[in-house]
A and B are shown apart, each in its own frame.
Chain A
Amino acid sequence: MISMMQRFFSRLGVSQTCRSAIGYFASLPDQPKSNNPAYIDQQFSYHRRNVIVIVTFCYGLGYVCRLAFNVVKKPLMDAGVFTPEELGIIGSTLLYGYALGKFTNGFLADHAHVGRFFAAGLFLSAMANLGMSFSDLAWVSALLWGLNGWFQGFGAPSSVVSLAHWYTNSERGRYYGIWSTAHSIGEGLTYLGIAWLIAAAPKGLGLDWQWGLWTPAVICIFAAYLVWRYLPDRPATMGLPTVADWKSEHGEINPDVAKESVWKTQLRVLTIPSIWILAIASSSMYVTRYAINSWGNVYLQEIRGFDLFDANLFIFFNTVAGILGCLVYGLVSDKMFNARRPPANLIFGLLELGPLIVIFYGPQNTLILGIALVVYGFGLSGILASLGGLFAIDIAPKKVAGAAMGFIGVFSYLGAGLQDYISGKLIYSSQIVFTFPSQQQDFQVFFYNYDKPIIFWVGASVLSIILASALWKVRAAD
């Protein structure tokens, strides 16, 4: 693979230095297999522990470089650095970059030394955060944040590839579950930690908004070092057998798999109408998800009058409830509905929509708002686990489940990106500026109205639930 890539780049006229740099990220050649069982056991034990700790911890830390910008949005608006429309454009570029990364990085990670590849993504993401802290030009920030989206996309495929190389089929679900908690680590660190740095005293340190980007950069550089140092390449590159050989645990090989090329089956996925409906349903739900993630804390500060720390605390509770939502969704759909997703989708969809309406149109009571956000997070994560993954895998032929997930993922993040732009534009269109000029300076205070964006966010959820319910009779394929 390395030589193939190097030949390809050689034909393109890429210099030897560049080709060596590209080669650095490629998976190393296989080494002769060791015949020492004690050595093999010791190596597997050591690296398997490193893999799960590093991918979970460092993927979580990497999240901070993705989300911290949401925390500093309000200070950026207050300081007049960017308008909501500009912030919307900047935020959307990350999601477009991430959508692109979903395709490209998955392919690259299959051929990469995941430790080096993932570390590079984290390091470059840190650089993007650093760059953002020095930029007050919207187009520069949009470019940097778009690149950050792509760099952020190095993490998930690297982690999944690593889990695939170091854990067997029967173990992978358990370890995948542990790894999935990483986003909560990241969201917790961001919505509590970074918010604490920026929030005014006594709840926070009251640092300038730039610290909300410098700190994630430092965290991601630290994570990059850990990943580079401790996340191993494939077992075969160390003279080890495959994990399936080591554990003597081989899955059944489906004889039909060879009959049709994977590429052909992947294309066939695109002809399944249910997949398209599911993609639009997932995309609509991602609109709501990222609307709350990106603008929720700004809304809570602007309209509901919470301070930065409390607003982010609310968003944190909502994301934590999401962990439970994912777990309960799987249990409910498997046990109560015999692995039929549509009834569970409807229940979790309503659990998402009801609280969403309470959040925006319900009584102005802090306790009710808190409860609504928790239930919303629970319902949203459940239905997203289905629309964005589980249901797609059910519908698609199993050997191209990855392609189906990729297709839905790209759609979802395009929806999320478009949401950020539209939300920013709608918020900006409502702007009223109060200026207090004086001889020394002009004080400016901005006022916004979220009525139109809220209709957009709630409407997207309604559309998603209707579309998901339209697949009521769809059964699992294969």
Chain B
Amino acid sequence: MKKRQLIITYLLLGQLMACGDDNSNAFCDNHADIHQQHVDKVTRVNVVYSENGELTAKLSVPMSDAAETALGENSNIIKITAESSCEVISPKIVNGEDYWQSEYKFECGANNKLQHVSIEVLNNFPEIQEVEAHIKTPATNKNFILNRRCDRPIFVL
């Protein structure tokens, strides 16, 4: 085989390896572009963790996807782990037109480092297919989408 043919063969092989799983990921790769078209039907989570150790999570979920009673239980929605325990404030639920709006609050204190936050909505509400998350910590903000069909968060929002 001539040198040039050899190089082209390797380049094509490389291309094949690179594009091998394109079809299965096409939905996830392109989803950020079409997300706006169905944004009003998606569950949203806004979490703010402040410097004084207060964590507030606001959930907006289509009524068809969750029951009010289930939203009233903190542990159905959010579980947190910090160096020491945090004070749990009772959740508030507001009945919107098509959505349940609920709020969950934890007072952890400024010197009580937050370690782990588990948002349980995909686990406990099988009707929810996608979550749009906005999370703010004292250092940074991250906005992303989680869709059951994708194996990783989609960060391009």
Contacts and interface: CB of A to CB of B under 8 A. Distances in A.
Partners in one complex: yes
Interface residues of B, number: 32
Given A440-B148, A443-B152, A449-B139, A432 B116 contact: yes
Nearest to B120: A437
A436 B115 contact: no
A305 B119 contact: no
Interface stretch (A59-67, A94-102, A199-207): A199-207
Contacts of B115: 431-433
B8 to A, nearest CB: 15
A254 B141 CA distance: 64
B61 interface: no
A451 interface: yes
Given A438-B122, A439-B123, A441-B151, A447 B140 contact: yes
Interface string B13-52: 0000010000000000100000000000000000101000
Nearest to B139: A449
B153 interface: yes
B81 to A, nearest CB: 9
A205 B144 contact: no
A432 B142 contact: no
A434 B47 contact: yes
Contacts of A450: 139
Interface in B116-155: 116-123, 126, 131, 133, 135, 137-142, 144, 146, 148, 151-153, 155
Interface of A: 78-79, 200-201, 205-207, 211, 302-303, 305, 307, 430-441, 443, 445, 447-451
B114 interface: yes
Given A303-B139, A434-B47, 12 more contacts: A78-B152, A200-B155, A200-B156, A206-B29, A434-B118, A434-B135, A436-B121, A437-B122, A438-B148, A441-B151, A447-B135, A449-B138
Contact of A436 (B116, B119, B126, B156): B119
Nearest to A446: B142
A435 B117 contact: yes
A252 B107 CA distance: 77
A391 to B, nearest CB: 37
A430 B151 CA distance: 26
Contacts of A205: 18
A434 B153 CA distance: 11
B59 to A, nearest CB: 12
Contact of B139 (A200, A211, A448): A448
A451 B116 CA distance: 19
A79 B155 CA distance: 13
Contacts of B133: 434, 436, 445
Given A445-B153, A447-B140, A437 B118 contact: yes
A432 B106 CA distance: 15
A434 B18 contact: no
A432 B148 CA distance: 23
A441 B28 CA distance: 15
A439 B148 CA distance: 9
B154 to A, nearest CB: 9
Contact of B123 (A78, A307, A438, A445): A438
A434 B119 contact: yes
Nearest to A435: B118
Contacts of A441: 151
Contacts of A206: 29
Contact of B144 (A303, A307, A445): A445
Contacts of A201: 29
A435 B135 CA distance: 12
A243 B52 CA distance: 70
Contacts of A433: 115-117
Contacts of A449: 137-140
A451 B144 CA distance: 24
A439 B122 CA distance: 8
B48 to A, nearest CB: 12
A464 to B, nearest CB: 26
Contacts of A207: 18
Nearest to B32: A200
26 contacts: A78-B152, A200-B155, A205-B18, A302-B140, A303-B139, A430-B139, A431-B115, A432-B114, A432-B115, A432-B117, A434-B118, A434-B119, A434-B133, A435-B116, A435-B117, A436-B131, A436-B133, A437-B122, A438-B123, A438-B148, A439-B122, A443-B153, A445-B133, A445-B135, A445-B142, A448-B139
Contacts of A436: 118-119, 121-122, 131, 133, 146
A431 B115 CA distance: 7
A305 B131 contact: no
Contacts of B47: 434
Contacts of B139: 303, 430, 447-451
A287 B122 CA distance: 43
B117 A434 contact: yes
Contacts of A303: 139-140
B141 to A, nearest CB: 7
B49 to A, nearest CB: 7
Contacts of A437: 118, 120, 122-123
A439 B137 CA distance: 27
Contacts of B137: 432, 447, 449
B13 to A, nearest CB: 12
Contacts of B142: 445, 447
B87 to A, nearest CB: 18
A364 B18 CA distance: 36
A159 B71 CA distance: 67
Nearest to B128: A438
A179 B117 CA distance: 51
